Amino acid sequence: MRTKRLSMADIPEAAALLRKGELVAFPTETVYGLGADACNADAVRAVFAAKGRPADNPLIVHIAETAQIGSVAREVPPIALRLAEAFWPGPLTMVLPKRDCIPEVTSGGLDTVGIRLPAHPAARTLIREAGCPVAAPSANRSGRPSPTTARHVLDDMDGRIAAVLDGGQCEVGVESTVICFDDPETIHVLRPGLICAEELLPYAGAVYVDPAVFEQAAPDAKVASPGMKYKHYAPRARILPVEADSFDGYAAYVRAHADAHTWCLLFDTDPEVPGIPCMRYGDDGARQAHDLFCRFRELDAAGAVTVYVRCPSSQGRSLGVYNRLMRAAGFEVIHL
């Protein structure tokens, strides 16, 4: 079965496929999601199979209106409503106690569920027309970079899913910020995204960023979010982030270590590294988030074997990009 490529005019067809228990990839403002009816255990099992995703890694459930939150979560604390008011529709996922209508296969066996109201109009229309909450992890094969175009989805998923709804390139480019609540006033960041801790703080007593955002969780460690255990977002090429005070220091290090299959991933304002091919991925957190996964796929297509990456800041809105890069690199950084 080839995967159908649908356009925005075909949203009713995509919604009908979801209602029948089929899998449909669709654009969100973050990355492309691989959608299934979140309440249909067989459809959700098919998502795990199509991605090759470990069964204990829960799926985020997407809704079309804030008012739907109570049909998915059995308790919604006031802080969650304040955050929904401030950041939805948008790239923020909140983990809350789940209702029984969400099967355990969707929540990876947990009693909680991650909920998000996406901002992309096609995503919202699709969810509304499907008439059910839509479970959607990123629409890549497990471990690969998340897809930010319909082409990327087909590269990983052609023949494995019924359809992909083509809505062009995703605006944000990295996955949503995932949070849970340690107590009624404390936000715990499980996965950083474009919405950063500093932006969340005005709505909470405190914001705590999980240490697994910065360093590899041990394989047997008890982690707050199952996804933290798994290597993620990696191209085939070996990713080597380089933290250097200056471009000259970076360039000298790379020239001393390069071979014929080495590439550089640089900031837009960097000059060239003589003799070594390069790609660029922006200068600030938002631009870098937009481009990172796209560049990963392009570097693979170019035949890169090792890629020395100019390391982004780990502050504010850049933390999401920094975290994806660290995970692609197995949290190993070259400090000069």
* Site for ligand AMP, rule CB under 6 A: 57-60, 95, 107, 110, 112-114, 137-138, 175, 178, 190-191, 225-227
Instruction: For residue 244, give the 3-state DSSP assignment.
Output: coil
Q: How far is the CB of 178 from ligand AMP (least distance, A)?
A: 5
Q: What is the CA radius of gyration of the chain?
A: 20
Q: Which is nearer to Mg ion, 57 or 262 (CB)?
A: 57
Site for Mg ion, rule CB under 5 A: 138
Out of ligand AMP, Mg ion, none, what residue 225 binds, judged by CB under 5 to 8 A for its kind, is: ligand AMP
Q: Which is nearer to ligand AMP, 137 or 285 (CB)?
A: 137
Q: How far is the CB of 5 from ligand AMP (least distance, A)?
A: 22
Kindly report the backbone phi and psi dihedral angles of residue 9, in degrees, each rounded to the nearest multiple of 5, phi listed first.
Answer: -65, -15
117, 66 Cβ separation under 8 angstroms: yes
Q: How far is the CB of 282 from Mg ion (least distance, A)?
A: 21
Q: Which is nearer to Mg ion, 138 or 177 (CB)?
A: 138
Out of ligand AMP, Mg ion, none, what residue 106 binds, judged by CB under 5 to 8 A for its kind, is: none
**What dihedral do alpha carbons 266, 269, 272, 276 form, nearest 10°?**
10
Instruction: For residue 100, give the 3-state DSSP assignment.
Output: coil
Six-digit token string for 322: 């920094």
Q: Where are the alpha helices (DSSP H) in the chain?
A: 11-19, 41-51, 69-72, 78-87, 121-130, 150-157, 197-200, 247-257, 285-301, 319-328
Q: How far is the CB of 283 from ligand AMP (least distance, A)?
A: 26
Q: Which is nearer to Mg ion, 149 or 262 (CB)?
A: 149
Out of ligand AMP, Mg ion, none, what residue 89 binds, judged by CB under 5 to 8 A for its kind, is: none
Residue whose CB is nearest to ligand AMP in the complex, by number: 227
Out of Mg ion, ligand AMP, none, what residue 311 binds, judged by CB under 5 to 8 A for its kind, is: none
Distance CA 305, CA 322 (A): 21
Q: How far is the CB of 96 from ligand AMP (least distance, A)?
A: 8
Q: How far is the CB of 271 from ligand AMP (least distance, A)?
A: 36
**Sign of torsion over alpha carbons 155, 160, 166, 168:** negative
Out of Mg ion, ligand AMP, none, what residue 133 binds, judged by CB under 5 to 8 A for its kind, is: none
Out of ligand AMP, Mg ion, none, what residue 327 binds, judged by CB under 5 to 8 A for its kind, is: none
Of 3, 48, 32, 14, the residue nearest 226 (C-alpha): 48
**What dihedral do alpha carbons 93, 322, 327, 112 form, nearest 10°?**
-10
Out of ligand AMP, Mg ion, none, what residue 114 binds, judged by CB under 5 to 8 A for its kind, is: ligand AMP
Q: Which is nearer to ligand AMP, 72 or 190 (CB)?
A: 190
Q: How far is the CB of 317 from Mg ion (least distance, A)?
A: 20
Instruction: For residue 73, give the 3-state DSSP assignment.
Output: strand
